[in-house]
Amino acid sequence: MQTLGTLDDEALMALIALGEIAEPGRELVLRHQRALFNRLAYLTQGDRDTAADLAQKVWEKVLTNAGSYVGKAAFKTYLHTIARNTFIDWLRVERSRQQISLNQDWDDETTTAPIELADEGPQPDALVLASQDTSRVREALYQLSPIYREALILRYMEDMSVEEVAELTGQKLETTRTRLRYAKTQLRTLLESER
């Protein structure tokens, strides 16, 4: 008899769809939580609390909608698509809150401190510009527009191919290549201006 640890992600999703949520769901979370959290932390500019909240929402969506998972794409792509959509929804709400708060007199002295991510593997900072100081690269990443930051994160942090990034973001392949080139150019410019 196979243990849950030996089953692939798609088989675990099939078990969840059949109603066995607790153990297969826990196994999926153990396999993918670190990468999911790190990606969301970069997208939210290092806001660990928001990243944790968004990760929880992503897992809720994955587990409650397991029956709709048809396996056309790899589970990792499915998970990151849900994460991307959850982040976009959160970003829209935040932007609407910012528009409201611009009309009010708020004391905005809250800044997000740089974070150290839990992932022990190579950071995208090291892959993008290996010779640069990690904190400088992280701060420069935070200055990029979310679509460019996302492209870099998926390509270099998640180690996805350009084709996978295009599929995940729903963009044409050439659009994705252009975004990656532009994002790397912007990142390089930001880092050079700090010297």
Answer yes or no: do 84 and 150 share one domain. no
| Range 101-129 average pLDDT | 46
Pair 20, 90 in one domain: yes
Are 14 and 77 part of one and the same domain? yes
pLDDT of the residue at 71: 75
The DSSP result for 107-156, as a single string, is -----PPP---S--S--HHHHH-TTS-HHHHHHHHHHS-HHHHHHHIIII
Query: Residue 1's pLDDT is what?
Result: 46
In the chain, % of residues over pLDDT 90: 13
pLDDT at 112 over 50: no
What is the spatial distance between Cα 13 and Cα 28, in angstroms, rounded to a whole number? 8
The contacts of residue 47 (CB under 8 Å, 6+ apart) are 41, 112
**DSSP three-state, residue 32:** helix
Please tell me whether residues 94 and 130 are part of one structural domain: no
Enclosing domain of residue 87:
7-103
What is the reported pTM? 0.62
pLDDT > 70: percent of the chain: 80
> Is 193 inside a domain boundary?
yes
Residue 110 confidence (pLDDT) above 60:
no
State the number of CA atoms in the 13 A half-sphere of 8 facing the CB: 5
Contact 81, 170 (CB under 8 A): no
Is 98 found in the same domain as 12?
yes
Please identify, among 53, 71, 103, the residue that sits at the C-terminal boundary of a domain.
103
63 near 16, Cβ under 8 Å? yes
CA distance 191 to 170: 29
pLDDT in tens, 74-97: 888 888 889 988 998 898 888 777
Is there a single domain that holds both residue 16 and residue 93? Answer: yes
Q: Which of 75, 103, 131 delimits the end of a domain?
A: 103
Please state the domain count of the chain: 2
In a domain, 108, yes or no: no
pLDDT tens, position by position, 6-29: 888 888 888 888 887 788 888 888
Within a domain: residue 1? no
Q: Domain with 157 in it: what CATH number?
A: 1.10.10.10
Q: Could you tell me if 34 and 80 lie in one domain?
A: yes
> Residue 126: which pLDDT band, with cuts at 50, 70 and 90?
very low
**Contacts of 40 by beta carbon, 8 Å cutoff, 6+ apart:** 50, 51, 54, 55, 58, 83, 87
Mean pLDDT of 135-162: 83
- CATH number for the domain harbouring residue 51: 1.10.1740.10
